[in-house]
Structure formats: C-alpha cells, structure tokens
Amino acid sequence: MMFRLFIIVLLSITSAYAAIETYEFKDKDKERRFHELSADMRCPKCQNQNLADSNAEIAQDLKQKIYQMLEADKSDMEIVDYMVARYGDFVLYEPRFNAQNAVLWLGPGALLLLGLMVVIWLTRSRHNKNAENAKQPPELDAKQQKQLQQVLNKDKKS
Amino acid sequence: MPRLLLFIPLTLFIALSFFLWKGLSIDPRELPSALIDKPFPEFEVAALLQPERILTKADFIGSPVLVNVWATWCPSCRQEHEQLLRIAQENKIAIIGLNYKDERAAAMNWLQELGNPYVFNIYDESGMLGLDLGVYGAPETYLLDAQGLIRYRHVGVVTGKTWQELQVMIQNLEGNP
C-alpha cells in the first residue's frame, strides 16, 4: 500500500512539473520550429541559458511571443528579425555575420591558412637546402685528394 | 633580423594578457540597447494612476525625458527610488515611469509610501511595451531626446554617479538637438 502511494505521489509530481509551460500546437511542424527557435535563442536575463531552458519572466514572455508569431504564420526569419530588432544580436546563439564580429567568423580560417602557409614555407625551405647540399658534394683540393688516395691505398695493402 | 623574430611570442603574450585583463572589467550584463538612436516604440497603454487615461508616445515628445522601468517586485527599484526623487527635485528633466508587469494596487501603494518622482506612469501590465523596448528586467532607465529617439540605456540601479553621467548626456542633447 505504501509503495503504491509512493508511486502515485511520484507520478503526480512529474505531471505537475511538466505542466509549468505547455503550448498547444495543432501543427507538428510548428511545434518543431518552436522548439528549434527557443533552443537557438539566448535568454537576455540569465545569459547562459537558452529560452527553452530558462524560466525567467522575460524568457517566458519571449516564448509566448514566438508561439503567437508561429500561430500567426510568421516565418522563422521574421521571428528572428523581430527578436534581434529588440534585443540585438545578443539573443542569437549563432550570431549573424557583420562588421563587428567578422574577426571572429573569419579569424579561425585565416589562422588556419596562415599556419598552412608557414608549414609549406618551412618544408620548402628545408627541401631546398637538402637539394643544394646534394648538388654540391664537398670539394677537396689537390693536396687533400692526394691524402685521401694515400689513406685508401694503405687500407688496401694491409 | 631573426633575433627580432624571437620577440613575436612575447608580443603576442602581452597583447593577449591585455585583452584578458581588459575583459575583467567588462560587465556582461550591460548590454547596449538594440534601439539606440531608434525611435521609442509606438504604444497605447493606460496610465497607472488614472486607468481611464490612455497614454501614447505623443505624451512625451518635445523635450528630453528619462523613462524609468520599475516594478514593486524589484528590490533594486526600491534602492534607486531615493535617487529618482532627488533627480525629480532638481527639475532638470522629466522622469516617466514604466510600471512593468506589476499589480496596480501595489504600485499605487508604493508611490504613496515612497513618494512619486514620475510625471506620469505607463501601466504595462502584460509587459508587451517592455518587450518592444527590449527590456529584460527592472530597473532600466532610458534617455530619450526631444524627438523621442532612444539615446542611452542604463541597466540597473541609477546612482549618483549615473545621474552625473546622464546630466552630461542631457546637456549634449540640449546643445546640439
């Protein structure tokens, strides 16, 4: 009996918890878009949470607004524009490309390119050096040649 | 020349340290308003103290004003109230209240108890005007010029220091409208 009661209590807790926020969508596609939009937008109040996770007043309002706009058949683009017009690029977890953040968007690519260039340059210069060394065997003058021959001959005799 | 190249890592390190050090003094909660230099949103909302009176943007166009977003559920608003009263006493600029997602009775009570620094109060019960304005919490204070363009947004408590900064901006607005 106690166990049953415990299960009932447990189940009622979860159902109450899930009911904090529910939006009824007739259209499955809209529901999917709602979840995508609220997961991709940042709550302006609690800055490290997205709208979907946040329970802050402002996050609830913004979700409500997204819901209303979806029901009014607005496109994703229109909804995002609406939010950016009010809260700035800050609300987007994936900010749009603009002059201010161009360095951040292009920086990694530029650095990668720079690294590649340095690697190519280094290997080339090393390669050239090796080639040069191979081309020019150390030259001995006449006296050294003679010494070399003597040493070699000595070895043969013994 | 190759000797100088050896200093590249040190220079990079110093540059990086500078940026990190600078980052320490930046408050991430202070977002610039997306509406800077843009017009205050259009609205038609009832006044707090006279529910039958409908306020619009036309009610505060003509001279620079401060719009202060406040609510009784916001402890920092109580903290800044004294300063707002002082600003109202100095009579240099009108303060308009935007009562944000609040209960009318509680808000009226607050003004009676603590004093009323506002010329009038917009009663934004649903928070929809606040949403149009990009408000994400109270208190926030906006400086509007005579044309109703938003010139500055201050997030958080208005202190004596904030007021000094605001005064400089107000003087600039009046100097070159």
The answer on pLDDT for A7 being more than 90 is no
Of chain A, the percentage scoring pLDDT greater than 70 comes to 87
The distance of A59 to chain B (nearest Cα, Å) reads: 9
Q: What is the CATH number of domain B34-175?
A: 3.40.30.10
- The mean per-residue pLDDT over the stretch A140-145 comes to 85
**Residue A5 to residue A2: CA distance in whole angstroms:** 5
The answer on pLDDT for B13 being more than 50 is yes
- Which among B35, B115, B126 is positioned nearest to B80, based on CA atoms? B115
Provide the Cα torsion B71, B73, B79, B82; round to 10°: 40
Phi, psi (degrees; rounded to nearest 5) at B150: -80, 125
**Residue A123 to residue A105: CA distance in whole angstroms:** 29
How are beta strands B54-56 and B44-46 bridged, if at all? antiparallel
**Domain coordinates of chain A in residue numbers?**
17-91, 98-137
Tell me which of A47, A79, A86 to substitute to probe the interface with B (most B C-beta atoms closer than 10 Å). A86
* Higher pLDDT pick, A155 / B57: B57
pLDDT of residue A10: 66
Strand order in the sheet with B150-155: B121-124, B94-100, B65-70, B140-144, B150-155
Residues of A in contact with B69 (CB under 8 A): none
Residue of A nearest to B155 (CA): A45
Tell me which of A43, A49, A58 to substitute to probe the interface with B (most B C-beta atoms closer than 10 Å). A58
- The mean per-residue pLDDT over the stretch A86-111 comes to 87
- Work out the angle at residue B74's Cα, subtended by the Cα atoms of residues B68 and B80, and round it to the nearest 5 degrees: 50
**Domain coordinates of chain B in residue numbers?**
34-175
B127 touches chain A (CB under 8 A): yes
Beta-carbon count within 10 A of B106 CB: 12
Q: Given an 8 Å threshold on Cβ–Cβ distance, is A86 in contact with B134?
A: yes
Determine the angle formed by the axes of helices A76-87 and A57-71, rounding to 10 degrees.
150
Position A17 confidence tier, pLDDT thresholds 50, 70, 90: very low
Q: How many CB pairs under 8 A join A and B?
A: 38
pLDDT in tens, A40-57: 888 888 878 888 888 888
Tokens in use for B1? 């020349």
Tell me which of A57, A91, A114, A118 to substitute to probe the interface with B (most B C-beta atoms closer than 10 Å). A57
Fold of A17-91: Helicase, Ruva Protein; domain 3 (1.10.8)
- The mean per-residue pLDDT over the stretch A76-85 comes to 90
pLDDT of residue A11: 66
- The mean per-residue pLDDT over the stretch A101-108 comes to 88
Q: Given an 8 Å threshold on Cβ–Cβ distance, is B34 in contact with A62?
A: no
Tokens in use for B138? 């109270």
Tokens in use for A55? 């329970």
Q: Which residue has the tokens 């949103």?
A: B41
What separation in angstroms does the CA of A21 have from each of A59, A61, A118, B115? 12, 11, 55, 38
**Residue A27 to residue A71: CA distance in whole angstroms:** 9
Residues 41-100 of B with CB under 8 A from A: none
Q: Given an 8 Å threshold on Cβ–Cβ distance, is B133 in contact with A45?
A: no
